[in-house]
Amino acid sequence: MNKVYWAPLWHIYQPPVQTREWLLRITEESYRPIIALYKSHPKAKFTLNINASLTLKLIENGLKDVISGFKELAERGQLEFVSTTAFHALCPLLPEKEIIRQIKLNDKINKKAFGKAYKPTGIWLPEMAYAPHITPAIAKAGYKWISLAGVASNGQWTNKGWHIIRYGNHELKVVFRDDVVSLNIGFGRTDSNFVDELAKQKGTYCFTALDGETIGHHVKSMVEGMRINLDKIEARDDVESISVGEIFEKFPCLGVVEPHPSSWSTTYEDIQKGNYFPLWLEKHEEPFKTVHELAWKHLNLLIDATYLAEKRVNGNVKQRKLFKEARELLDKGEHSCMYWWFNRDKWHRDVVRFLVGLEVQNKAFMKLQQAFKDEKILEKINQAQEIREKIYNRLLNE
Q: Which residue ranges make up each domain of the chain?
A: 4-272, 288-397
pLDDT confidence of 2, banded at 50, 70, 90?
A: confident
**Per-position DSSP letters for 123-147, written without gaps between them:** EPPGGG-B-GGGHHHHHHTT--EEE
Contact in structure between 27 and 65 (CB atoms under 8 Å): no
**Residues of the chain above pLDDT 70, percent:** 99
What b/e readout covers 81-110, taking b as 16+ CB neighbours within 10 angstroms? bbbbbbbbbbbbbbeeebbbbbbebbbebb
pLDDT digits (tens, 9 = 90+) for 121-148: 999 999 999 999 999 999 999 999 999 9
Compute the average pLDDT of residues 302-306: 98
Compute the average pLDDT of residues 217-234: 94
Compute the average pLDDT of residues 65-91: 98
Give the helix/strand (H/E) hosting 102: helix 96-114
Q: Which of 106, 152, 104 minimizes the C-alpha distance to 128?
A: 152
For CA atoms 214, 216, 217, 221, give the dihedral sign: positive
pTM of the predicted structure, to 2 decimals: 0.96
CATH number of 4-272: 3.20.110.20
pLDDT confidence of 281, banded at 50, 70, 90?
A: very high
What b/e readout covers 181-207, taking b as 16+ CB neighbours within 10 angstroms? bbbebbeeebeeebbeebeeeeebbbb
Q: Give the pLDDT of residue 46.
A: 98
Quote the Cα angle for 348-344-258, to 5°. Answer: 105
Compute the average pLDDT of residues 160-166: 98
pLDDT digits (tens, 9 = 90+) for 16-59: 999 999 999 999 999 999 999 999 999 999 999 999 999 999 99
Q: Give the pLDDT of residue 192.
A: 66
Average pLDDT, the chain: 96
296: pLDDT strictly greater than 70 = yes
204: pLDDT strictly greater than 70 = yes
pLDDT digits (tens, 9 = 90+) for 358-394: 999 999 999 999 999 999 999 999 999 999 999 999 9
SS3 52: helix
Q: Within a 10 A sphere around the Cβ of 24, how many other Cβ atoms?
A: 13
Q: Give the pLDDT of residue 255.
A: 97
CA dist 134 and 91 (Å) reads 7
Distance between the two ends of the chain, CA-based, in angstroms?
Answer: 58
Compute the average pLDDT of residues 343-371: 95
pLDDT confidence of 398, banded at 50, 70, 90?
A: confident
Compute the average pLDDT of residues 311-316: 91
Q: Give the pLDDT of residue 185.
A: 87
Q: Give the pLDDT of residue 223.
A: 94
Q: Give the pLDDT of residue 202.
A: 94
Q: Within a 10 A sphere around the Cβ of 116, how many other Cβ atoms?
A: 9
Four-CA torsion 144, 147, 153, 156, nearest 10 degrees:
60
For CA atoms 376, 380, 381, 386, give the dihedral sign: positive
Give the helix/strand (H/E) hosting 54: helix 52-60
